[in-house]
Structure 1
Amino acid sequence: MSSTLTGRAEVADGYRAGRTLPIRVELVRQLKRRRTLVMGGILFALPFVLLIAFQVGGAPDSRNGGTGLMDTATLSGANFAAVNLFASAGFLLVVPVALFCGDTVASEASWSSLRYLLAAPVPRARLLWSKLVVGLSLSLAAMILLPVVALAVGTAAYGWGPLELPTGSSLAAGTAAQRLVITVAYIFVSQLVTAALAFWLSTRTDAPLGAVGGAVGLTIIGNVLDEVTALGDWREFLPSHWQYAWLDAVRPQLDWTDMIQGTSLSITYAMVLFALAFRGFARKDVVS
């Protein structure tokens, strides 16, 4: 019986929708792009920049009689790695997430290659899935690269030792390494909102800069709103309100309370935005 009589569309022999645009191929494409190399170079260089700053300016000192995490930067490699995360979590690590997730679809549209990918034919959901997985993978790699390089640089400069806490206590080197892993994992999860926002904007515009800049800009607005104490408890609905909850991981007693709240809020917002991206792109008239 012909495919016309059975109501099934004819497809080429050997064609499998799930095998189009393999994640491995997309990953190699994105790794070769200049923006990936530049961003990796910036994150790789940051620990060296901070090291030079401490060498030139001397060891950080406490202000107003208090002691913060930044004041412990030169006490050990673990402290140096923690300070690098503290210094970059608020903004610098937002940029690669917005870049890798916001540039991915919009760049194809700006190159007028998006319609040719879909004509390959690559199913729209498959295309978005491949690009999303690669974008999130590169974002996670960026967040891992920074503390790994910082730990190596800090250990070479200040030695391998316990994580000295601002409270005067310390965490053994093995425990400190585990806490840094928890810290990186939480920062990644907390940035899922930025990733989802950038990805959604990337499916709505043909301008990569608009998607990346929009995600970064809205993240900054969220940070500003979190500083408005007049909002009271409403700030708890802002993902930025929980972005430093990972500091509970560098305390003598690990406290999961705030990190659980931040994780649940971030994942909820991210799932909604990812769903909007897939739903909107499935109905979009792609002409680029």
Structure 2
Amino acid sequence: MSPAESVRATANPGAAPAARPGVGWALLASELSVLFRRWRTWAMLAALAAVPLLIAIAVRATTHEPPAGRGPQFLSQITHNGFFVGLTGLLVCIPLFLPLTVGVVAGDTIAGEAGHGTLRYLLIAPAGRIRLLVVKYLGAAVFCAAGTLAVIVAGLAIGAALFPIGPVTLLSGSTVGFGEAIVRLLLIGVFVLISLLGLCAIGLFISTLTNVPVGAMAATVVLAVMSQVLDSVPQLDWLGPWLFSHYWLSFADLLREPISWTSLGDNALLQLGYVAVCGALAYGRFSTKDILS
């Protein structure tokens, strides 16, 4: 804050400081710096990367191929092509491990600052509550991308080290080169990232409701599990398309020839709805909340 701004703030303590150009980018850079300097963040990314590593080592250590139809999808194909290690790792991480880590980060966005007594100092800076919410949400979204990428990269690396690498047979029966298969795996990573954006918004909203970050984290993770449980009950089929986890595993169309973008579009539209609704609720709560810490 410049001396002139300090004088104006002193003369009129109730006035909000004027936003400076570029302060949003600086705030986002600071948020990402804090997020990725935490040991907790790197521990969660390492845990996600360990999933495909453990799968590949377990398959390699066995003396026979995994039986078809047992275990995660594509597990039996790992011994023939290391490409499927990354894909199997994503399938294992999507239902629990990715939502767990995302819930920790998203639930900590606002509640963590309040719990540590730093939230009011962030609001003193010329950022504004809306901008702070957007920055916190973008920080959680970046972690989603980092977590998804960690699983893919670790899976491809260990798959190439332990198993043969070559052309990939798609679900439609056609075969594509390894390079195109990598592109499709990255598209699946984008699909997974989009799938987690709704959960990020839910965690952000819950984080505005409490000053206890552990409570916000736990509530976010519980909602992720409950959504999947409800989606698996046949009697609640009418509810499934409205649940944010409904399309989490619906990326099979990206492994066909030609690619069908229907599931990706439906998923993106659903997550956008959750982002809009939960973002509005978060703003409504945060804009009227008394910041005492």
TM over 0.5: yes
Partner residue in 1 for 2:254: 249
1:186–1:259 CA contact under 8 A, matched in 2: yes
Aligned counterparts, 1:42-61, within 5 A: 42-58=47-63, 59-61=65-67
What is the TM-score normalised by the length of structure 2?
0.86
Partner residue in 2 for 1:147: 152
Cα distance between partner residues in 2 of 1:129 and 1:260: 23
Q: Does 1:19 find its partner at 2:23?
A: yes
Partner residue in 2 for 1:109: 114
Cα distance between partner residues in 2 of 1:187 and 1:132: 17
Q: Which has the higher helix share?
A: 1
Aligned counterparts, 1:219-258, within 5 A: 219-258=224-263
Partner residue in 2 for 1:100: 105
Partner residue in 2 for 1:191: 196
Give 1:76's match in structure 2, choosing from 81, 94, 104: 81
Q: Which amino acid aligns with 1:218?
A: L
Shift in CA distance, 123/94, structure 1 to aligned 2, threshold 3 Å: same
Shift in CA distance, 166/73, structure 1 to aligned 2, threshold 3 Å: farther
Cα distance between partner residues in 2 of 1:67 and 1:198: 28
Give 1:276's match in structure 2, choosing from 263, 281, 289: 281
Cα distance between partner residues in 2 of 1:81 and 1:236: 27
Cα distance between partner residues in 1 of 2:204 and 2:52: 29
Output the aligned Cα RMSD. Answer: 2.6
CA shift for structure 1 position 252: 3.6
1:62-114 Cα deviation digits (max 9, x unpaired): 148x9942221222222111111111111111122222222121111111121
Q: Which amino acid aligns with 1:158?
A: F
Partner residue in 1 for 2:175: 170
Q: Which amino acid aligns with 2:93?
A: S
Cα distance between partner residues in 2 of 1:70 and 1:130: 38
CA shift for structure 1 position 120: 3.7
Partner residue in 2 for 1:32: 37
How many residues are matched?
A: 280
Partner residue in 2 for 1:215: 220
1:74–1:80 CA contact under 8 A, matched in 2: no
Cα distance between partner residues in 2 of 1:219 and 1:10: 40
2:52–2:88 CA contact under 8 A, matched in 1: no
Partner residue in 1 for 2:272: 267
Shift in CA distance, 110/68, structure 1 to aligned 2, threshold 3 Å: closer
Question: 5+ unaligned residues in a row in structure 1: which ranges?
Answer: none
What is the TM-score normalised by the length of structure 1?
0.88
Q: Which amino acid aligns with 1:56?
A: A
Partner residue in 2 for 1:206: 211
Question: 5+ unaligned residues in a row in structure 2: which ranges?
Answer: 1-7
